[in-house]
Amino acid sequence: MPATVLAAGSHPGFLSPSGIEIAFVLVGIATLGAALVTVTTRQLVHAALWLIVALGGLAVEYLLLTAEFIAWVQVLIYVGSVVVLLLFGLMLTRAPIGRSPDADSENRWAALAVAVAAAATLVWVVVDAFRTTWIELDGPAQGSTEVTGAFLFRNWVLPFEALSVLLLAALVGAIVLSRKGRERTTPAGPHREDKS
């Protein structure tokens, strides 16, 4: 009996967090702050750069959860591809570098209400889905390449491919919009007659 009490007392409780848990909370607060700046700034380029900080913070959170594969996928796909695609779209469409009055919407409260409702719904769905889920500690790690690859390419192949087509369509649309703007602003040169 004393050995059981000693073993129970040796585990840290909720009020004595470890260094990893403290780092997780601090990185989470920094990531949340970067996400809020992303959606509230009026400068499109600054929003894209703060999005890099927010997505990088998520990658650090995955590393703290010992899901290294997910963390590097987060860096390679989201930070390395999605944000670069967003920056290319901003450059190709010649978005304003400074403060843009178009980036300020008068529907802030409606957007805030939708965001809070979506967040509450997401939290409820995740909590309800994993309420009775047990993690098998003897099997492969949940964040390992084997488990993640099998889960991704068995259950989520169609959304994965749809996302790649969506990103390609966004890039093609940005190129088309930039070419239309260039054709309108290009001054007509002198008319040359063909003498042949």
pLDDT of residue 62 exceeding 70, the answer is: yes
Question: 29, 89 in Cβ contact below 8 A?
Answer: no
Q: pLDDT of 83-115, one tens digit each?
A: 777 777 777 766 666 666 666 667 778 888 898
Average pLDDT over the chain, rounded to an integer: 76
In sequence order, the 6+-apart residues with CB closer than 8 A to the CB of 17 are: 25
pLDDT of residue 46 exceeding 60, the answer is: yes
Q: How far apart are the first and last CA of the chain?
A: 107
What secondary structure, in 3-state letters, does 10-72 show?
HCCCCCCCCHHHHHHHHHHHHHHHHHHHHHHCCCHHHHHHHHHHHHHHHHHHHHHCCCHHHHH
Both tokens of 56, joined, read 């990088």
| Of residues 68 and 105, more confidently modeled | 68
Both tokens of 162, joined, read 């749809």
Mean pLDDT value across residues 47-55 = 89
